[in-house]
Amino acid sequence: MEKKMKTKIKKKEIFEKKKKENKKFLNYVKTNQKYENFQKAILNNKNQKINHNIKKLHDTTIKNKDIPCNNIKVNDQIIEPNTFSKAYNFIFDKVINSQAANIPIDTHMLYCNFDLSVSYNIGKSYNFPINLTHSYYSDVIILVTENGDKWKNMIIENKLKKVKKVITYDKLEDLYYKNDLLNDLVKKYDLYIFDSSTKAKKYGNLISKIKKYNKTYTTVQINEDNFVDTINRAIHRTYTDLNRGSTHSVPIGYLTLGKDKLYDNIKESAKIMLQFYEQKKISVVSINLRYINMTIPVYIHALKDGTLSESY
């Protein structure tokens, strides 16, 4: 009986601690000046400058790992079009104004960042695939085990214009045996599709170079019956590593893809990732649009219809 009473008291203490932390977080949001700037500029449609160095809210406020999963309604409009538009315009203007450095606007990727209330510690998932509405790859290479010409002809017949090269791995080893030649090849393409019938150990060196130059790769099962569908799916996917930590970044495309297509991609990324986090019972504090060192919130769970939500 005494043991049950102690357990009950302990549970009550934990509950009160959670309640205190959640209240502290909401008070912080109410009084945080940087957040107010964002709220006025984005959510209330005021034409004011956004402080793109907004600090992650949960990094400075939420330390309790027992915060319950928030009930985010997963739908296509979780990120409002006008909110995304203002964030995109802010980044685009910054990039265009800095073009004196002659840096191409397709050099750096835009990311959809998910800030979590807890540190993700459910193992690691490499090359986690996320279907996008619009492909952002421009130069794709397919590495097959054999019959390179057969696959090339299928690419041409089906007008898969993003695929610029099909090559067997043996031929690639013969042609690009020097380190500098292989480096030049890796820099040339932005998506590498490997035939799963090739042993992974065989192309380990190539994979390390792909990662070094921040390129993307995936492995698919290539066969004649569904070759076109398989390649199309791979080209319309983005891939990310779900590592331990409180932030995950999903690539959604370059500025050259255009505002409308990027909005479609960030919507799709948010929809899929929120479903994933919901299954894992992980709470998402905010969703942000990131470009290099600029991070702009496009969804904050503490807000509901422009006001603070008490769902915590």
pLDDT of residue 117: 86
> Does residue 2 register a pLDDT over 80?
no
User: Hey, which residues does 129 pair with through a beta bridge?
Assistant: 239
Domain spanning 81-124+243-306: which CATH class is it, in words? alpha beta
> Which one has a higher pLDDT value, 237 or 95?
237
Report how far residue 74's alpha carbon sits from residue 77's, in angstroms, rounded to the nearest whole number: 8
- Listed in order, the ranges of the chain carrying CATH 3.40.50.790 are 140-238
How confident is residue 110, by pLDDT bands cut at 50, 70 and 90? very high
Kindly give the pairing relationship between strand 284-291 and strand 110-120: antiparallel
CATH code of the region 140-238: 3.40.50.790
> Which one has a higher pLDDT value, 303 or 65?
303
> Does residue 23 register a pLDDT over 90?
no
- Listed in order, the ranges of the chain carrying CATH 3.30.190 are 81-124+243-306
Question: Measured in Å, how far apart are the chain's first and last C-alpha atoms?
Answer: 32
pLDDT of residue 308: 40
Report how far residue 297's alpha carbon sits from residue 104's, in angstroms, rounded to the nearest whole number: 25
Instruction: Kindly list the strands in the beta sheet with 110-120, ordered across the sheet, starting from the edge strand earlier in the chain.
Output: 245-253, 110-120, 284-291, 294-300
pLDDT of residue 249: 93
pLDDT of residue 271: 93
> Does residue 65 register a pLDDT over 70?
no
pLDDT in tens, 123-160: 777 788 999 999 999 999 999 988 888 999 999 999 99
pLDDT in tens, 293-306: 889 999 987 544 44
> Does residue 246 register a pLDDT over 90?
no
How confident is residue 252, by pLDDT bands cut at 50, 70 and 90? very high
> Does residue 239 register a pLDDT over 50?
yes
How confident is residue 112, by pLDDT bands cut at 50, 70 and 90? very high
